[in-house]
Structure 1
Amino acid sequence: MRIIAGAHRGLALAAVGKGDAGAHLRPTADRVRESLFNALAGGRYGDPINGARVLDLFAGTGALGLEALSRGASHVIFVDDGRVAGRLISENVVKLRAEASTTHLKCDATRLPACEAPAALVFLDPPYGKGLGARALASAVAGGWIAPGALIVWEESAPQPAPEGFTPLDTRHYGDTHVTFLERDG
């Protein structure tokens, strides 16, 4: 895995190794990440990355949030309570020298505390088929984590319906990964 573009283009990320099967650690493949970020940069959604505060739910390795940071995001909040994920996020943040522009919340993404500043871009990559994505979005909304008009990028094994308070924008399919784009109402 590597950073695809931006200030840290080509930087190799920490190796997942055996991963953490119990925590369903499943990093987004480079080609899917590249396609996803090409879609974000294509202008259809404005400029959702540059200067954005980003929330990366079920962050895993942190690759999605770090890619956004490399492409101009101002701050990334990683949310993942997995032991292996925590180690990988820490290693990758150090590799990018991004300690000042990142925060790692070691908590359950479906039980978020209140926050002070909402995110304009949200990556949501829950374990497939567990129904955790909608619960995490509800928790993020309740805690003030998602700004009105924020763009949500939701990876799952199938297209996801828009929960109440969100408008569907698009769905893309990359192999066994479906990416649903939503906008927070408001």
Structure 2
Amino acid sequence: MAGKGVRIAGGSARGVPLVEPRGVRLRPTSGLVREAVFNILGESVRGARVLDLYAGTGALGIEALSRGAAHATFLEGDAACVDAILQSLARAGFSAQGTVLRGRLPAALDRLEGTFDLVFMDPPYDDPAREEVLVRLSPLLAPGGRIVFEHGSRYNPPVRPRGLQLLDRRTYGDTAVAFYGHLEGE
């Protein structure tokens, strides 16, 4: 890609360029949106167990590691992207704190163990499985955890997918970000 490419926006690895896979069409989360999301999440990232779904370049999970997350698991279906994420983790100095799994969603969710404090979900905007994936995340979300679901601004995400509730939604041009947590009382 021409220009500066995707870089870590903040934290200990700020400015480190990420490896972008060749021959794969991606829509990485813009630096502006990433910065806004991490400003909203604030200190909740420190020490968090992170899950980065539809990981692509791994920008969201690696950004979380740079900002103090304890561990990030990346789930991506494309082999070239998996290789790029592994290279980017090494380049940023986070190889020991990252686990990269290859698999297609939603089926690959069955391979995950434990719970996560922070889940990033950035599917292709037209992915027909996005709501099924969202619904299946409730058991994987730790108490007090958050799901950050990036989507097209014209799409209205579900307000109460099974076991979850929409807490906030922000729009940045053609991109919107929905924040979910566990449904109160569950």
Match of 2:39 in 1: 38
Number of residues paired by the alignment? 175
CA RMSD across the alignment: 1.6
Q: 1:4 maps to which residue?
A: 9
**Structure 2: unaligned runs, 5 residues or longer:** 1-5
Q: 1:31-83: per-residue Cα shift (whole Å, max 9, x none)?
A: 11111111222xxxxx3201000011111100000000000000000011112
What percentage of residue pairs aligned between the two structures are identical?
41
2:173 counterpart (153, 172, 175):
175
What is the DSSP-based 3-state SS (H/G/I as helix, E as strand, rest coil) of the residue aligned with 1:113?
A: helix
Pick one of 112, 116, 121 that aligns with 2:113.
Answer: 116
Matches of residues 131-150 of structure 1 in structure 2 within 5 Å?
131-141=128-138, 144-150=139-145
Q: Does 1:156 align with 2:118?
A: no
* Counterpart position of 2:65: 69
1:78-89 aligned within 5 A: 78-89=74-85
For residues 88-144 of structure 1, the C-alpha deviation after alignment (integer angstroms, 9 at most, x for no partner) is 211111111212111111111201224332001010001102232222233344xx4
Distance 1:183 1:146 in 2: 8
Per the normalisation by structure 2, the TM-score is 0.87
Of residues 14, 17, 20, the one that matches 1:15 is 20
Q: Describe the shift of the 1:138–1:164 C-alpha distance in structure 2 as closer, same or farther (beyond 3 A).
A: closer
1:114, 1:145 within 8 Å by CA — same for their partners in 2?
A: no
- Hey, what does 1:44 align to over in structure 2? none
Gaps of 5+ in 1: 42-46
Aligned to 2:44, the other structure's residue is in SS state coil
Q: Matches of 2:181 and 2:111 in 1, distance apart? A: 21
How far apart are the structure 2 equivalents of 1:59 and 1:15?
12
For residues 34 and 133 of structure 1, the distance between their equivalents in structure 2, rounded to whole angstroms, comes to 23
- Is 1:26 matched with 2:13? no
Q: Secondary structure at the match of 1:180?
A: strand
Q: Distance in 2 between matches of 1:7 and 1:74?
A: 13
Of 75, 88, 92, the match for 1:92: 88
Alignment-mate amino acid for residue 110 of structure 2 = P
**Using the alignment, how far apart are the partners of 1:104 and 1:152 within structure 2?**
19
Structure 2 distance, partners of 1:159, 1:67, is 26
